[in-house]
Amino acid sequence: MKANKTLGYEYIKGFWETNPVLKQVLGMCPTLAVTVSVMNGLAMALATTFVLVFSSLLISSIRKLIPNQVRIAAFIVVIATFVTIADLVMKAQFPDLSKALGPFVPLIVVNCIILGRAEAFASKNSPFRSFLDALGNGTGFLIVLVVMGGIRELIGSRTLLGYQILPNGFEPWLIMILPAGAFLTLGLLMGLANFYVDKKKRSEREELIQKYRKSQNDVEVKGQEA
């Protein structure tokens, strides 16, 4: 079943179908914590994607060498190494950003997305597929973080990427950049995503029912003729 999925699908599925945050409910901590602005969300997502892609690639290529029992442990070390690299690079090159993200860059280690993908995908698939999968999941993560950051920044401080968007007459809702706002925004966002999926499912079912009704009528008509 898995073999016939196209390479494109491995990439694209992470956007929506198996979106790490909205569908797999992974990586909630950074999603909630760093999305006070688009910039933070973007930086966090990029750092995570970096770690995700490289660790997936590496794990997938050495997957056959690692004994099953130390699998998770080995993954953790690999991931931790890449996280440290990301952390050091950030501190060296983008000190401001590193400060804004606080301890959440090191915490990428325990981001369930990375370990989850490593465990569920990279340890079973070829490096190229794992690469695409990781990139797709990273992008999905990025989409959510940017949307979250966008909503919170726009309403919470009426700016986007630091530029004022909403007029001065709009009083910013400070709650959006507080922890409570993060929970509420993500909750509503996930609810909305589910709502959309539900609606699609419902309309599909409606269609089937319509078809069933029609076929039912056909039978009745035939029955009357006979």
Partner 1 sequence: MDLLLIFLSAAIVNNFVLSLFLGICPFLGVSNKTSSAISMGMAVTFVMVLTAIVSWILYFIVLVPFKLEFLQIPSFILVIASLVQFVEMVIKKVSQPLYRALGIFLPLITTNCAILGLALLLSMREYSLLQSIIFGLGAGAGFTMALFIMAGIREELELTDVPKPFRGVPITLITAGLLALAFMGFAGMI
Partner 2 sequence: MEEILIEEGIVVCRENGIAEVEVFPAQSCEECSAKIFCKPDKDDRNVLRVNNSIGANVGDNVRIEIKGKSVLAASFNLYGIPLIILLIGIFLGTSIFSEYKLVELYSAFFGIGLTAIYYLFFLSHNKNRQNQILPKIVFIKRNS
Partner 3 sequence: MELTIIIAIATMGGLGFIFASGLAFADKKLRVEENPLIGKVNDVLPNANCGGCGSAGCYDFAVKVVDGKALPTGCPVGGEETAITIAEILGVETGTAIKMVPKILCRGGNSEAVKKMTEYYGPISCKAMALVSGGDKLCFYGCLGGGDCVEACPFGAMIMNENELPEVIEEICTGCGICVKACPRNIIEMHPADRNVFVFCKNQDDPKRSKEVCSVACIGCGICARKSDGGIEMVNNLGIINYDKLDDSKIPFEKCSTGAIQKIGGRNIPVN
Residue 28 or 184: the one with the smaller Cβ distance to partner 2 is: 28
Q: Which does 181 bind (CB under 5 to 8 A by kind): partner 1, partner 3, partner 2, none?
A: partner 1
Q: Which does 6 bind (CB under 5 to 8 A by kind): partner 2, partner 1, partner 3, none?
A: none
Q: Are 119 and 113 in contact (CB under 8 A)?
A: no
Asked if 120 touches partner 1 (CB under 8 A), the answer is no
Q: Which does 198 bind (CB under 5 to 8 A by kind): partner 1, partner 2, partner 3, none?
A: partner 1
Asked if 178 touches partner 1 (CB under 8 A), the answer is yes
**Taking the complex as a whole, how short is the minimal distance between the CB of residue 25 and partner 2, in angstroms?**
4
Cα angle value 41/46/50 (rounded, 5°): 150
Asked if 200 touches partner 3 (CB under 8 A), the answer is no
Asked if 70 touches partner 1 (CB under 8 A), the answer is no
Alpha-carbon distance of 31 to 71, in angstroms, equals 27
Interface positions with partner 2 (CB under 8 A): 24-26, 28, 68, 71-72, 112, 115-116, 119-120
Alpha-carbon distance of 101 to 115, in angstroms, equals 21
Q: Where does this chain bind partner 1 (CB under 8 A)?
A: 25, 28-30, 32-33, 73, 76-77, 80-81, 83-84, 87-88, 103, 106-107, 109-112, 115, 175, 178-184, 186-188, 190-195, 197-198
